[in-house]
Amino acid sequence: MLITLGTVGCGHRGSGVSMEIVVHDAAVTKQERSRVETYWTGAGIADVAHGDAIGDPVQPEWTEGGAIARTVGRLYAQGAGGGLGACTATVVGTNTVITAAHCVRTSDAGEPALSATWDQQLYFVPGYRDGQSPYGGFTVRRVRMAKEWQDEGLDVAVLEMNPGHDGRSISEVTGVQRIAFTAESGTRTHFFGYPYTSRLLHCEGGNSREYRGSALLRIPCVMGVGSSGGPYIVDLGAGGAGSVVAVNISGDETFSYGTALGSFARRLYAQSEHCSRDC
């Protein structure tokens, strides 16, 4: 049974919202890393693939390769009840991948953020396509996100990744997308995601804010469940490299909405990159 990692409702940020960072250990030991990898490379990825859509995708497939095809991938997780699901995530640092917070922590409707359960067996496959893992898969060492992650502007998580089997960091294998923390409205924006499809899909358009001061960016294209965590990228060059300015969190019939990366995301990123080197 698939859990629907990829949709969340967001409240408006209030003055009393906690900006505290929560750090959660995932697969830290060698034994934990081996267990997670064995699970997904065994039957896990194939089990999720049974729920992938067959037929015409909701948006066109990204066929231009380049850095996009290496740095964006599927993030797999197992919920507390044993259900499997997948979101989208992007390599943005030495050992850092960015996604939506609700892709790694699941709460029941109407329940407070702190009562949410941590998803298990997090596993990232960059460049996933048609059941293939061209750059291998990577386990997650630690997750960093907001304590009150359900509030508007805080549905974002950074994942500190373990190295691959050969000891190389994920960035040495895939390269990185740049990351920017000053998203501007009206900028041409590219959105990439895996909305329960076996291939990376793409759409683009001018971004905007739903209302003045909103911490969300929206673009006029929709992908659906599974595209959560997918990057909104600006200044995309011919080689497929650009700057991630938001991560997708939800959508309606007209727009997709993403958490704009700002000062809080900068703090998450700085901690993850520091620990990638020194912790």
Residues 97-117: tens digit of each pLDDT: 999 999 999 876 666 677 788
Q: How confident is the model at residue 1 (pLDDT cuts 50, 70, 90)?
A: very low
| 209 touches 185 (CB < 8 A) | yes
User: Sign of the CA dihedral 151, 155, 161, 164?
Assistant: positive
> Tell me: the pLDDT tens digits for 127-143?
999 999 999 999 999 99
- The number of helix segments (H) and strand segments (E) in the chain equals 5, 17
The tokens describing 51, both together, are 């729920």
Residue 262 CB-density burial (10 A; 0-12 exposed, 13-18 middle, 19+ buried): middle
Residue 184, SS3 per DSSP: coil
Sign of CA dihedral 26, 140, 73, 204: positive
Which pLDDT belongs to residue 190? 97
Determine the Cα–Cα distance for residues 126 and 173; give it in Å rounded to an integer: 10
* Cβ atoms of residues 206 and 183 within 8 Å: no
What pLDDT sits at residue 217?
A: 95
pLDDT tens column, 193-214:
999 999 999 999 999 998 877 8
pLDDT class for 185, splitting at 50, 70, 90?
confident
Per the CB < 8 A criterion, the answer to whether 228 and 6 are in contact is yes
Alpha-carbon gap, residue 192 to 59, rounded angstroms = 10
Q: Give the long-range contacts of residues 233-239, CB within 8 A, separation 24 or more.
A: 233/68, 233/177, 233/189, 233/190, 233/191, 233/192, 234/180, 234/183, 234/187, 234/188, 234/189, 234/190, 236/68, 236/190, 238/66, 239/66, 239/67
Cα–Cα distance for residue pair 66/275, rounded to 1 Å: 28
Identify whether the C-beta of residue 87 lies closer than 8 Å to the C-beta of residue 6: yes
12-57 pLDDT tens trace: 444 445 689 999 999 999 999 999 999 999 999 999 999 998 878 8
